[in-house]
A = this chain, B = another copy of it.
Amino acid sequence: MESYKGLSPSQFFYRNREIAGFSNPVRSLYQAVRELLENSLDATETHGILPEIKLEIKPSNNQNDKITIRIEDNGIGIPITEVPNVFARVFYGSKYVLRQARGVFGLGVKMAVLYAQITTATPIYVKSSIESSETEYEYRLFIDIEKNLPIVLELNVRKKRKKWHGTIVELTIQGNWPLARRRIEEYVRRTALIAPYATIRLITPESSIEYKRVSRKLPEPPQVGKYHPKGVDIELLKILIRSADRKMRLLDFLTKYFDGVGKKTALNFCQWAGFNPDHKIGRLTLTDLEKLSNKMHVYNKWRRPKPLTLSPLGDTLLKEGVKRILEPEFVTAISRPPSSYGGNPFIIETALAWGGKVPVSDTPMLLRFANRIPLLYDESVDVSRKIIDAIDWNVYKVKFPAPIAIVTHICSTKIPFKGVGKEAIAEVPEVEKELNIAIRETARRLRRHLSRIEKMYEIKRK
């Protein structure tokens, strides 16, 4: 007799934690550090705050198999009533909105809390305060894995003695520091490359490194935006209609709820699609919704998605980051104009570094980023690697072995990640096309630089 049952989200990710990157003590330590650091950076830069982050990794016992990770940030903090949910309820967070962020799933930190709980039986410690509050508060939490609810072991609330806002998180997991060390240090180093306005202190058993910011210029934070008509489906229409006034006209619904749809565009669309612009949205049938969804997809006169939901670095800041970390002799960067795929806006930025302290290799070194997250795994199936390997570098005067590094950065409200562990990116034709244009443009600029160097040497010899 088959036994049928359901799982809560926390039970599901407890049983399948390797899917989120928590497969063994080496990978889990790396992933836990990532989840904490990515949250602290989101909590600062998305809100116009220059990040000040201190990340400490220390063994918590003599056997060196239990590691304590502690992070402090000067971010916006977390409201006292929300702390238990954001740290101990799977599928809960503040990033379910259309705005570029490292966080997407409302899952990351919960995986770290879960892993700590099941390997060391220790609760997560959180201290936080938001700017508008007079109090600061400390929690110790477990997850009730069966119910997907927080268990508050401890809560201390007190008046703030000095003005501060931010979050401190500490947890202890089974981890393998010696084997995970290189990747974690590289991850932090690359984070410093893509966020040159951030000051990050990394304290480990062996060393204390400070990546001091090289720029006080923060990229314009992204804004929460609306969906683009190209990205609709029947469920999205239902969701938007439910949250709107059922007596609203279709015309006003389109202009109010969708990105880049003005009154004129909406009228033309209704005419083309065969809809009455005055039709009350509450009276659209399921068949109407299916037709509306299909027509919105097919209509090709929508304006491009607005990039206000994105926050590219810009070429100046990207060059700063590359100079600080790679110390090249020559660097060039490009931040492409906004593009989109399936209604999701995206921007490609790339940089090319040559010479100086860039290591010599048989093939260009590649540093990949997505929404400012360094991607360190699965390079061989990444679309950027595919493009770089397809280029004939002789055309650009590059003979291998050569000291050349390429940085690729994709910004989007929806990065096409292949999994919740955020490592590999799926191939999307529009993204591939933009990456190709950007990489080849930086290659052309390198060629011009190398030609100038050649000419200088010829002049010298004469």
Q: Assuming A234-B118, A378-B381, is B7 touching A106 (CB within 8 A)?
A: yes
* A8 CA to B148 CA, complexed, in Å: 11
* A421 CA to B23 CA, complexed, in Å: 17
* A9 CA to B91 CA, complexed, in Å: 8
* A386 CA to B240 CA, complexed, in Å: 48
Residue numbers in B under 8 Å from A395 (CB-CB): none
Question: B76, B421, B426: which contacts A2 (Cβ < 8 A)?
Answer: B76
Most buried by B among A3, A7, A23, A235: A235
The answer to whether A233 touches B118, judged by C-beta atoms less than 8 angstroms apart, is yes
The answer to whether A18 touches B94, judged by C-beta atoms less than 8 angstroms apart, is no
- Please tell me if A120 contacts chain B, counting CB pairs below 8 Å: yes
Instruction: Give the Cβ gap from A33 to chain B, nearest Cβ, in Å.
Output: 20
Tell me the number of copies of this protein: 2
Q: How many residues of A contact B (CB 8 A)?
A: 56
Residue numbers in B under 8 Å from A400 (CB-CB): none
Residue numbers in B under 8 Å from A96 (CB-CB): 5, 7, 15
Residue numbers in B under 8 Å from A358 (CB-CB): none
Residue numbers in B under 8 Å from A76 (CB-CB): 2
Instruction: Give the Cβ gap from A233 to chain B, nearest Cβ, in Å.
Output: 4
Residue numbers in B under 8 Å from A145 (CB-CB): 235
Stretch at the interface among A282-290, A332-340, A453-461: A282-290
The answer to whether B92 touches A5, judged by C-beta atoms less than 8 angstroms apart, is yes
Determine the residue in chain B with the shortest Cβ distance to A416: B18
* A92 CA to B8 CA, complexed, in Å: 9
Residues of A within 8 A of B (CB): 2-9, 11-12, 14-16, 18-19, 23, 76, 79, 82, 85-86, 89, 91-94, 96-97, 104-106, 117-121, 145, 233-236, 286-287, 289-290, 293, 378, 380-381, 416-421, 426
Could you list some 27 contacts between A and B, CB below 8 A?
A: A4-B92, A4-B94, A5-B96, A6-B85, A6-B89, A6-B91, A6-B92, A9-B9, A9-B12, A9-B91, A11-B91, A12-B106, A14-B235, A15-B96, A16-B104, A16-B420, A18-B416, A19-B417, A19-B419, A19-B420, A117-B234, A118-B233, A118-B234, A118-B235, A119-B293, A419-B419, A419-B420
